[in-house]
């Protein structure tokens, strides 16, 4: 890089992370801002890499996935086969002049550290930073400049990534697959995060309809061919209409005021399938009503059909005590209590 007088400067070295930090800290804010402005005009004449992806979230949300350490660590890094690399350490100051340092870990446990400087931040549309593998890390030691541009694409975001600073085609080509995998992981992670939020809202909506004893609204997100394994006979109920009838038969057994509560819900999303498991409990008034005597175990399988999540399978159960063949109530989910199995054996007599 040349200055306006034609002389050589060290601005390029600052942009690429070589300038001593003490020298940088001694500069005024105005000097730092001007240096960073010059840095943004630097473009490598060597090989570069450009990648685009469409991410299913707003630019504001996607920007946070690049600039918040707790979000970045969930998707940053490549894959080995079907196994994602992990990111055990992320340090980022998302402001002009800030620092950037990450550690990505291979499935075999090998750590790779990289560092850089944040050159430009324009929320929520632009982020520019440098990236250099630390000593003896990565395949090539050169310092790259990574430019991220985010723009609206309907309700989604178009992500453009440009990487400059490669010293050879070989160097660039060695990283092409890894950077593509990295952005693929961003797309998948944001999709899963969005899907979980949608599924949580569907479960909460279902719970409100249960409390209102509104079976029609409860069935809104059920597939026509849903299969229910209920906690009470029959052991299997097939079809949305049959499940609705089962609830209509249940509601008269509940008190007039009866809330619905979930806890310990876990969500697992893979493509167009999702599994939700946890506990459900009725909250009757008065509390002494028998319907509220125990939590019920709940597993729900959702399938995305024509863009909407639908329940295709539901399983509700309670454990039983094999020592007396009676239902084992789950009164306190924080305690994994169980009966005394000491008398269990081939000669065990079960009360009739």
Joined tokens for residue 198: 């949608």
Give yes or no for a contact between 278 and 264, defined as CB atoms under 8 angstroms apart: yes
Instruction: Tell me: pLDDT of 41 over 60.
Output: no
pLDDT confidence tier of residue 9, bands split at 50, 70 and 90:
very low
Q: What is the CATH number of the domain that holds 252?
A: 3.10.450.50
* Residue at 3 is within a domain: yes
Query: Do both 139 and 112 map to the same domain?
Result: yes
Q: Would you state the pLDDT for residue 306?
A: 85
Within 13 A of 259's CA, how many CA atoms are on the CB side?
A: 7
| Range name among 130-139, 159-168, 246-255 with the lowest pLDDT average | 130-139
Query: Do both 5 and 98 map to the same domain?
Result: no
* Residue at 271 is within a domain: yes
**Beta-sheet strands, E only, within 21-109:** 49-55, 79-80, 83-84, 86-92, 99-105
Query: Do both 12 and 98 map to the same domain?
Result: no
* Residue at 318 is within a domain: yes
Joined tokens for residue 102: 């990450």
Give yes or no for a contact between 284 and 254, defined as CB atoms under 8 angstroms apart: yes
* Residue at 171 is within a domain: yes
**Among candidates 163, 175, 96, 153, which has minimal Cα distance to 131?**
163
Query: Do both 230 and 118 map to the same domain?
Result: no
Query: Do both 23 and 64 map to the same domain?
Result: no
Query: Do both 113 and 230 map to the same domain?
Result: no
Phi, psi at 211, each rounded to 5°: -60, -30
DSSP 252: G
Q: Of 139, 160, 191, which residue sits at a domain end?
A: 191
Specify the length of the chain in residues: 352
Please report where in the chains the tokens 């600039």 appear, as a residue. 67
The pTM (predicted TM-score) of the whole model is 0.57
Query: Do both 72 and 166 map to the same domain?
Result: yes
pLDDT confidence tier of residue 281, bands split at 50, 70 and 90:
very high
* Residue at 69 is within a domain: yes
Mean pLDDT of 257-278: 93
Please state, rounded to an integer, the average pLDDT across all residues of the chain. 86
Query: Do both 187 and 54 map to the same domain?
Result: yes
pLDDT confidence tier of residue 139, bands split at 50, 70 and 90:
low
Number of structural domains, the chain?
Answer: 3
Residue 6: count other Cβ atoms within 10 Å of its Cβ: 6
Q: H or E stretch including 316? A: strand 308-317
Q: What is the CATH number of the domain that holds 111?
A: 3.30.530.20
Residue range of the domain that includes 68: 44-191
* Residue at 223 is within a domain: yes
* Residue at 334 is within a domain: no
Query: Do both 90 and 9 map to the same domain?
Result: no
Query: Do both 38 and 58 map to the same domain?
Result: no
* Residue at 346 is within a domain: no
Q: How far is CA 98 from CA 92, 119, 142, in A?
A: 7, 8, 20
Query: Do both 56 and 22 map to the same domain?
Result: no
Residue that wins the pLDDT comparison between 3 and 132? 132
Query: Do both 185 and 247 map to the same domain?
Result: no
Residue 322: count other Cβ atoms within 10 Å of its Cβ: 13
């Amino acid at each position: 890089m040349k200055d306006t007088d034609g002389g050589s400067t060290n601005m390029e070295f600052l942009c690429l992370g070589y300038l001593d930090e003490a020298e940088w800290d001694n500069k005024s804010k105005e000097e730092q801002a001007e240096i960073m402005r010059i840095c943004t005009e630097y473009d490598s004449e060597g090989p570069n890499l450009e990648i685009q992806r469409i991410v299913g979230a707003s630019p504001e949300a996607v920007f946070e996935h690049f600039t918040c350490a707790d979000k970045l660590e969930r998707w940053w890094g490549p894959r080995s086969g079907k196994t994602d690399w992990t990111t055990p350490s992320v340090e980022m100051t998302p402001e002009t002049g800030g620092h950037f340092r990450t550690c990505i870990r291979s499935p075999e446990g090998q750590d790779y550290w990289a560092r850089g400087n944040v050159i430009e931040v324009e929320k929520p549309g632009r982020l520019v930073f440098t990236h250099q593998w630390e000593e003896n890390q990565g395949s090539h030691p050169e310092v790259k400049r990574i430019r991220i541009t985010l723009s609206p694409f309907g309700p989604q975001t178009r992500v453009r990534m440009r990487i400059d600073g490669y010293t050879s085609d070989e160097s660039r080509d060695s990283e092409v697959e890894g950077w593509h995998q990295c952005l693929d992981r961003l797309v998948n992670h944001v999709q899963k995060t969005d899907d979980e939020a949608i599924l949580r809202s569907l479960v909460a909506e279902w719970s409100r309809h249960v409390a209102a004893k509104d079976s029609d609204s409860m069935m809104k997100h059920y597939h026509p061919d849903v299969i229910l394994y209920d906690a009470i006979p029959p052991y299997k109920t097939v079809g949305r209409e049959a499940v609705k009838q089962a609830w209509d038969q249940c509601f008269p057994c509940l008190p007039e005021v009866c809330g619905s509560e979930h806890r310990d819900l876990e969500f697992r999303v893979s493509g167009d399938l999702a599994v939700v498991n946890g506990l459900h409990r009725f909250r009757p008034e008065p509390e002494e009503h028998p319907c509220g005597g125990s939590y019920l175990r709940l597993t729900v399988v959702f399938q995305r059909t024509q863009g909407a999540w639908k329940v295709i399978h539901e399983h509700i159960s309670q454990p039983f005590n094999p020592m007396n063949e009676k239902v084992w109530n789950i009164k306190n989910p924080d305690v994994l209590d169980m009966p005394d199995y000491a008398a269990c054996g081939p000669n065990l007599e079960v009360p009739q």
